Every structure is written in C-alpha cells, then in structure tokens.
Structure 1
Amino acid sequence: MSDQAVRGTTTGGRRAVGPVPDRALLRATALAHLARFGTTRVGLTQVLERRVQRWARRAVEGGELSEEVESRAAPLGAVIAQVVADMVELGAVDDAAFAGSRARSLTRSGRSRRAVQAHLAARGVEAETVGAVLDDALGERGQDGQDVELAAALIFARRRRAGPFAPAREGDEDAVPGDEVAVRRRKVLDAMARAGFGRATAEAALDMDPEEAEDRIIRMKSA
C-alpha cells in the first residue's frame, strides 16, 4: 500500500485514513476535549487511546496489514502518557478538583455517599483521593456527613414521590389504604438500599415532616 493511501488520499476506492496520530495531534485532541468536559487522568488517557484506536481501525479497513498498524501504534502509549502529564502540569486535569465538583453535583441530585464513591472510582480517581475529597465536599462521617447524606436521601425520596413527598399522606381524606402504603414503603426502602443509603438514613428520610424535609434540602443545596 502506498504512503499516499495511508496518509488519507482516497485511492482505488480505498477509504481515507489520515496520518498516524502524533504528539501534536493528540495534544490538540486533549485540549479540544478538555475545553468541553472535565475529566480525570484516566479519563483523558482513555479519550486519547480511543483516538488512536479509531485511526488503527481505519488503517486496517483501508488495506494496511494489522501487524503493521499495531507496530506503528505501539509507541503511542508513551506519547499519550506524556500528553496527559502535560495537561496535569498545566492544571487542565486535576483529579481532586474533578472529584470534588462531581461529588457535590451527584449528592445534590440524590446520590448516596457510597454511590458517589463508586462513581469516582470508576473514573479512575485513586481511593485515597476519593476519601479525602468526600470528607471535604460532603463532610466527614460525623454529624455534618450524616446531615448531607440525609438530605441526599430526601432528594431521592422526592424523585420517587415517597415519604414526605408522597401525594397522599396518612390522615388525608384521599389517603391510600394502609396496606398499600406499607408495600410502597418497602419498595422505596429497597430502592434506597440499592442506591447505597443505609437503612436508618432511609427510614429517617421517609418519616420526616414535609416542611423539615424541604428545609434540609434547601440548606444542603445552598451550602
């Protein structure tokens, strides 16, 4: 196959491939991604690896031997690592800042501390960083942390229209039968357990007075 075909000119019906991604191209890809999205070191590495993988796939589809493509792509792992290190040095990638922002956002949408921890770990944030960030952003596992967790559980309950946010509460004229209330409560408690909320927190959220529930949510979101 000619260099012309590899570098992107369509020849004999072959698909344009483009040049092998070099440091300049990968750096441009990183900057374009970071201009739109926050991410971690692991996340940016994956973005750049996918960029290389797309080139490799097109090269093979364009007629290059897979062994040759792999040989040309192999050195790019080190190049990607260098580009990611550059972005960290520039401050464009900061795992702790990303984790703190994401932790607060997820909590305010009704995610439990356990769910937030799993989310950050899945994005490659180191366990030590996750622990420190959660204590800083959500409060340590004392009273402050419990208050934030309870507020997140209340947001979860509000989305489910459960507990203080149920459309008909016991004692109302249009309240649903007691057995149906019990079944609904069990289902919500099960859902909250799957979402990572402890039983005591879930029950406290469901049993709370509606006015206090709204007040706790407002305080947490405005903190």
Structure 2
Amino acid sequence: MSAEKTGKKDHVKRRRQPLKATPEGLERSALYYLERYDSSSGHLRRLLRRKIALSQKVHGTDPEEGAAALERLIARLTGLGLLDDARYARERVRSLLARGTSTAMIRAKLAAKAVPSALTEAALAEHLGDSGGAELRAALRYAKRRRLGPFRLKEREDRRARDLAALGRQGFDYETARKVVDCEDPVALEAEIAGP
C-alpha cells in the first residue's frame, strides 16, 4: 500500500532543538522538574548544567552566564524551601529503609544524587538510632519482598547460595545475610531485633 492510500504522511521526524539556557528557561526547567520529582540541590544543579552545556553547543550561549544564573536560581529555590538537601536525605533514607535497602546501598544512592555525605550520615543516624538491628531488619524486609531465605516456598536449601548472593549484592554483609537466609522463623527474628 502506498502512503496516499493509508492516509499516512511520509515525513522525517525532526528532533526538537534544545531551548536556550536563559535564566527564565532554567527556572522553568527547574520548576517543572521539581513539580514531578523531589531533588537534592546537587542533582538539580547537575541536570541544569547539562542544559547549559547543550545550549552552548547548539545556540552558542555563554556558559559562564548560565552558570551564574544557575547558582542564583539554586540559592533562590533553597531560600524558598523548594530545595532542602537535609529533608531530601531524610525522606530518601526513610523510604529506602522501608524497602529493605542496606545502609551501604543507601549511602551509594544518595551519593549518586549529590547529597553531601554529612547529611546522609545524619539522616541515617536519625532513622537508625543506636539500634544495631536496623540492618538486619532491612535485610529481612528485602528478603520478604524478594521471597528469599525463610520466605521462599520451594527449594530453599538448593537456593541458599543464590539467596546469600542476592543479599550481598544489595550491600548486606555476610553475617547479616546468613542470619536472614538461615532463619527458620522470621517473625521470631523480627521480635528479637525489636527487643523487650
């Protein structure tokens, strides 16, 4: 069938040109991103720097002007409370711990989002407190979610090494992974972690 008969037009898709990185354009991009996602200031800065570099390449804009406008924008958004690295770190730590993420993996994920390590450590200390069982509790949550170890319905002994490896890849140390995988009663282990 020809294009005329099917009603489809024969055209080449054009790539949309990136917009110039003006202060107004950067602000629109930042606000649009923040409407959809929570972000750290470092991560937003990284995203907007890419826009500035692309604008320089395509439109020949001045990268120093873009960088200065970006820093003013980040300061303004932080002053308005739209960017708060400490809040972002606390919320990410809380949600990742609830999912069963190890502290090592949480540190790596927050570092990838350009959260300062001091804020990450403060958020971890706030959520974990002095309890040594937080890592074990997170490993149990992960095992339950992925049906590993005591949560596996079939072939538990045959899959022991795989389950240990899965927990290891998530950043849990061998002892924690072993306790979870070899646990016979996860409810009792959870109660033991919680204490009296």
SS at match of 2:100: coil
- The amino acid of 2:91's aligned partner reads S
Tell me the CA shift for residue 137 of structure 1.
1.9
**Counterpart in the other structure of 2:133:** 147
- The amino acid of 2:76's aligned partner reads D
**Runs of 5+ consecutive residues of structure 2 not aligned to the other structure:** 1-14
How many residue pairs are counted as aligned between the two chains?
180
2:105·2:170 contact (CA, 8 Å) conserved in 1? yes
Inter-CA distance 160–16: structure 2 relative to 1 (3 Å threshold): closer
Q: Is 1:165 matched up with 2:151?
A: yes
Mapped to 2, the partners of 1:163 and 1:203 lie a distance apart of 9
Mapped to 1, the partners of 2:19 and 2:110 lie a distance apart of 35
Tell me the CA shift for residue 157 of structure 1.
1.4
**Counterpart in the other structure of 1:92:** 82
Mapped to 2, the partners of 1:113 and 1:17 lie a distance apart of 41
**Counterpart in the other structure of 2:7:** none
Q: Which has more radius of gyration?
A: 1
* Cα distance per residue 1:120-179 (max 9 Å; x no partner): 111111111111111002324xxx2x32211210122123322220104xxxxxxx4xxx
**What is the 5 A alignment of 1:1-223?**
20-59=20-59, 69=60, 72-140=62-130, 144=131, 146-168=132-154, 176=155, 181=157, 183-206=158-181, 207-212=183-188
1:164·1:208 contact (CA, 8 Å) conserved in 2? yes
Mapped to 2, the partners of 1:16 and 1:165 lie a distance apart of 49
Inter-CA distance 80–130: structure 2 relative to 1 (3 Å threshold): same
* Cα distance per residue 1:18-76 (max 9 Å; x no partner): 873222221222122111111111111122122223433443xxxxxxxxx1x623321
TM-score by length of 1: 0.70
Tell me the CA shift for residue 184 of structure 1.
1.6
Counting aligned pairs with the same residue, the percent is: 32
